[in-house]
Amino acid sequence: MNAQGQRRSRRRWVIAGLVGLVVILVVAYTGASFLVYDGISAKVACQFKGSPDSFAVDPKYGIDAAQYEMPIPEAVEFASRDPQLGETRLAGWWIPAEGATSVADAPAVVVIHGVQSCRREPSILLAAGMLHRNGYSVFLPDLRDHGDSPGDDGRFSGGTEEYLDVLGAWDWVRQQGVPADRIGIAGFSFGSANTMIAGGQERQVPAVWVDSGYPRTADALGNFLADHSPFPQPLAGWIVPMAAVWAKVIANDDILRFDPGKELAAYGGRDIAFVHGAQDKTLPAAWATELRDAAVAAGATSPDVWVVPGAGHTEAIYLQPKEYEQRLTDFFGSALAAP
């Protein structure tokens, strides 16, 4: 073989090698994205065992949960606003305010848990207890495919469907006789994203409390992956778009359909507050300020942001329980008319 033939042969081998490498990278990327989606979207059993009348907080925080315990709740079933769930009913706990002449006389707050969690999580029960002992009725739902609630496909859908469960819970409280303008929603982490979306889609929701929220779903998922998988940033962020494709293929879920920050454009004239831990490694505290600025631009009423020094993800309620209770009840007291 002459020199020219040798060069052509080498080029062919180089090209074949590059094509092979690209194929390997594409397969690896696609496969990793599938494993990531399958891992974070599948329903997992709730690890928490507490209930409104009996729960505990990690001893390291030094909180006596007994002072926040509530009466034995009424176990109820409620319908999501999602017509695709049909006759499926989700699980919830209803704890009416004590001392009210009727249910309609007391404001109510729906408290929403995060992803791979449930209504039994101590932070959810603690927030509910803070509200209840200050004269509020509280409703604690398990979103679809979480806790004691069934689901449609056993998959997390990034809020695309879950916000309809939040609104279904809000509807249920309204059906008990509580006026729409006296029913607020409080959410934690992924639950706070659902509350923002729910409030953006239903303008009768008067007030939303956002603990550890995020403005963009893709960024939040990328950060979540970086914290809960072997993939560091920016690789975790690159995996999200393909994981979203798998969500569409496997469950017909458009997990990137909503960005909670964009939903704030509909909050003009309504109340919203933001709280975040300064040391949150999953969802940066700077996002709380970004969300607040978006709410201000939309004309939301008295949007506030409270960044708690030293607190990690959804940890503010544990590190500053007294101030958290004061801010939480003051916020809903102003927005919903104090009990």
Same domain, 327 and 314: yes
Q: What percent of the chain has pLDDT over 70?
A: 82
pLDDT at residue number 41: 60
pLDDT tens track for 284-331: 999 999 999 999 999 998 788 999 999 999 999 999 999 999 999 999
pLDDT at residue number 103: 87
Same domain, 197 and 117: yes
Same domain, 186 and 227: no
Same domain, 238 and 301: no
What pTM, to 2 d.p., does this model score?
0.88
pLDDT at residue number 256: 80
- Look at the chain and report how many structural domains it folds into: 2
CATH number, domain of 289, equals 3.40.50.1820
Same domain, 63 and 169: yes
Same domain, 245 and 183: no
pLDDT at residue number 339: 80
Structural domain for 111, as ranges: 45-216+259-336
pLDDT at residue number 248: 74
Contact 188, 194 (CB under 8 A): no
pLDDT at residue number 26: 39
Same domain, 196 and 303: yes
Q: Residues in the chain with pLDDT < 70?
A: 1-42, 228-232, 234-239, 241-244, 246-247
